Amino acid sequence: MTIAVRSVQPDDRDRLLEWRNNPRVREMSLDDRLIDAGDHERWFTSLVGGDTSHVLIALADNEPAGIVRLGDLDVTNRTASWSCHAGAATLTPGFGACLPVVGLGLGFGRFGLDRMHAEVLGINKNMRGVHRRLRLVEEGVRREQAMRADGERVDVHEFGVLREEWPEVRNRMMSLLPSSISQSLGDVLEQLANSEPGD
């Protein structure tokens, strides 16, 4: 499998709504409510009409398969959060684990950030496992922070990465992946490192 990234394009609108409202994705999102078409249209129009350099579509074998996004981008303090999710129903094992690394590459590479952080639901054992295999620092647990649509409350785990930790995280990810995937992921990270906001 090869991995690549591209910017969000106008014909991604319906795809992104479908991905976000997929029950599998909603279950692991901080906000698990269905997104209605009007709210999505407003978000997407503002995104495509502005700077999309902080949102990427991830491709698996040249097909759109997931999204990576920076949030809370603070250019003064050089910090941001990252979030991601796969969209395609069936993916080669390892693709989902690459998405957080693409997010880190976007922040540390394209935006030159000094610190990044992510929030992962306590029920999202797969992504918590990925973050721990990468040895990302778990900076805290906000107990019962997120309320689900059914009223249940769940914990939110916070992970953080500093710029000086990024090369080790990147190398650890490469060592965990089959060579066919790690080569194309390396190409993506190199591309992001050599790009600038607005690209």
Can you tell me the distance from the alpha carbon of 105 to that of 37, in angstroms, rounded to the nearest whole number?
31
Q: What is the DSSP string of 77-137?
A: TTEEEEEEEE-SSS--TTHHHHHHHHHHHIIIIIS--SEEEEEEETT-HHHHHHHHHTT-E
Q: Say which residue the tokens 């407003």 belong to.
A: 42
Distance of CA 42 to the CA centre of its chain: 21
Can you tell me the distance from the alpha carbon of 162 to that of 149, in angstroms, rounded to the nearest whole number?
34
Residue 53 confidence class, pLDDT cut points 50, 70, 90:
confident
What is the DSSP-derived secondary structure letter of residue 22? S
Q: Answer yes or no: is pLDDT of 49 > 90.
A: no
115 Cβ neighbours under 8 A, 6+ residues apart: 77, 78, 79, 160, 161, 162, 163
Range 141-149 average pLDDT: 94
Q: Check if the beta carbon of residue 45 is closer than 8 Å to that of residue 76.
A: no
State the chain's mean pLDDT as an integer.
Answer: 92
Range 3-19 average pLDDT: 93
Planar angle of CA 18, 156, 171, nearest 5 degrees: 80
pLDDT of amino acid 21: 92
More confident residue, 34 or 49: 34
pLDDT of amino acid 58: 96
The secondary structure element, H or E, covering residue 149 is none
For the stretch 73-114, pLDDT in tens is 999 999 999 999 998 667 778 898 999 999 999 999 999 999
